[in-house]
Amino acid sequence: MIVMAGNDSQLSRRSALKVAGGAVVAGGVTVGAMGKGGSDGRDVIVGLEADASPDVAASKADSVKRTMDFGNVGTAVAGKFSEEAIKGLQKTRDVRYVEEDGSMHALHHRDGHDGGPGGGDDGGSTSQCLPWGIDRTDSEVAHANGETGNGATIAIIDTGIDSDHPDLQGNINTSLSKAWVKCKGGSCNYPWDDDNDHGTHCAGTADAIDNSQGVVGVSHSADLVALKVLDKRGSGSFSDIAAAIEYCGDNSDRIDVGSMSLGASSGSQSVKDACTYADNQGVLLVAAAGNDGPCSDCVGYPAAYSECVAVSSTNDSDNLSSFSSTGPEVEIAAPGTDVYSTIPGGYDTFSGTSMATPHVAGAAGQLMANGASNDNARSTLKNNAENIGLASNESGAGLLDTAAALGLDSSDDGGTAGNCG
């Protein structure tokens, strides 16, 4: 946890949260002093005022999953609560909200190319190709000019990352990586390993190594952090996702970008609180707009939150992808149709705003490696986006241009996308 020097009240509150969480959770089964719901309780998240003790909620729980601290925004307790306890908490002065601990999902478009878990090429590529999205965003121009993302750290908040993929292994920060949902299966070297494919695919687009095989990412020398919040089916709870975003904020001295290719059609106040906290701590949050298109005003959450850069998807003709959600929250577009990238054991082609999002996360890593703040990186990406003739609710400021954002001339890059996939 990050504590400002001299802020004794903040230190005391965070210490109290740890004590309360440890005393009440005790493996996630200890009954709170006033909990009466037993196994019939509901999984909810109770949001509290910043100066309130977490015990206000924890003491009413049948079991506590975790406590979360969002700084000045407030705290939250996730757990199982009886209906009686929920009704009482809704009337309690220090309680800001009580919400269901719902779920969010990976956002790749299953009607396009999608190998699914274990799909795609089942081996390493003998030569490196340039994916069309890396070429279209002029990210290879940045590489040619020595811009690699070295020094930045990009967290992939997703299904995990394949820990021994040759295009990713050298960039993964294993000490910072963490799982809230553990990897299941025989290929799980770490709890945060990928048992779905989705997170590894996103990681490759953001930051695959330039190593003469497979693919190369928008950045290729940044650190990658796997924050596994989605299970092997690509689903995860609000509380796990909020905790991972909180983790980014707590480690903002080491994590620059949080990439979230996940979402839901309805929001979560706890996830919103976590986004506010991480943004305030200096982390740039990038999120997929959603795959509900064709539609209007349909950007999902957390992308719709003002703390997140909402990313829509384009195809290789610079048209809006047919599946891409649109709305006034969209800030920038990036390639998302037929994107070739890494998966556990090889490579595959996926489509979705999930695939567009890590293009922007990788470019943000490039800027933050050079010392940009999260706010500065966000405005720089938008101010240098390319106008491709789409409406603002479809592409925001335009199409991502990594080279232009770095102050490079990409008018005649000479790059040619390889025969990927």
Claim to verify: residue 117 and residue 214 sit in the same structural domain: yes
Claim to verify: residue 272 and residue 301 sit in the same structural domain: yes
pLDDT at residue 418 greater than cutoff 80: no
Question: pLDDT grade, residue 107 (50/70/90)?
Answer: confident
The answer to whether residue 73 is domain-embedded is yes
Claim to verify: residue 317 and residue 288 sit in the same structural domain: yes
- Token pair for residue 159? 């299904």
Q: Which of 46, 79, 101 is the last residue of a domain?
A: 101
- Token pair for residue 3? 């504590």
pLDDT for the residue numbered 413: 55
**SS3 label, residue 56:** helix
Claim to verify: residue 170 and residue 94 sit in the same structural domain: no
269-281 and 238-250 are packed helices; what angle lies between their axes, rounded to 10 degrees? Answer: 10
Question: CA 120, CA 108: separation in Å to the nearest integer?
Answer: 15
The answer to whether residue 59 is domain-embedded is yes
The answer to whether residue 411 is domain-embedded is no
The answer to whether residue 153 is domain-embedded is yes
Q: Which helix (H) or strand (E) holds 269?
A: helix 269-281
Claim to verify: residue 260 and residue 375 sit in the same structural domain: yes
- Token pair for residue 126? 């003998």
Q: Within 8-159, where are the H helices?
A: 8-25, 55-58, 83-90, 132-136, 139-144
pLDDT in tens, 270-317: 999 999 999 999 999 999 999 999 998 999 999 999 999 999 999 999
Claim to verify: residue 65 and residue 150 sit in the same structural domain: no
Structural domain harbouring 395: 105-405
Please check whether residue 354 is in contact with residue 313, taking contact to mean a CB–CB distance below 8 angstroms: no
- Token pair for residue 276? 């506010």
Region 26-41: mean pLDDT is 40
**Any idea which residues carry the catalytic annotation?**
158, 198, 354
The answer to whether residue 41 is domain-embedded is yes
CA 326 to chain centre: 19
Region 171-190: mean pLDDT is 95
pLDDT for the residue numbered 417: 74
Claim to verify: residue 189 and residue 262 sit in the same structural domain: yes
Claim to verify: residue 130 and residue 58 sit in the same structural domain: no
- Token pair for residue 43? 């999984």
Domain count, the chain: 2
pLDDT for the residue numbered 23: 32
pLDDT at residue 338 greater than cutoff 50: yes
Please check whether residue 77 is in contact with residue 67, taking contact to mean a CB–CB distance below 8 angstroms: yes
The answer to whether residue 132 is domain-embedded is yes
Higher pLDDT, 16 or 420: 420
49: domain CATH number is 3.30.70
Claim to verify: residue 91 and residue 224 sit in the same structural domain: no
pLDDT in tens, 204-237: 999 999 998 999 999 999 999 999 999 999 999 9
327: domain CATH number is 3.40.50.200
pLDDT for the residue numbered 127: 87
pLDDT in tens, 114-167: 333 333 444 445 589 999 999 999 999 999 999 999 999 999 999 999 999 999
Q: What DSSP string runs through 123-135?
A: S--SSB---HHHH
Claim to verify: residue 21 and residue 78 sit in the same structural domain: yes
The answer to whether residue 12 is domain-embedded is yes
The answer to whether residue 79 is domain-embedded is yes
Claim to verify: residue 201 and residue 89 sit in the same structural domain: no
pLDDT at residue 97 greater than cutoff 70: yes
Which pTM value belongs to this model? 0.89
Claim to verify: residue 178 and residue 234 sit in the same structural domain: yes
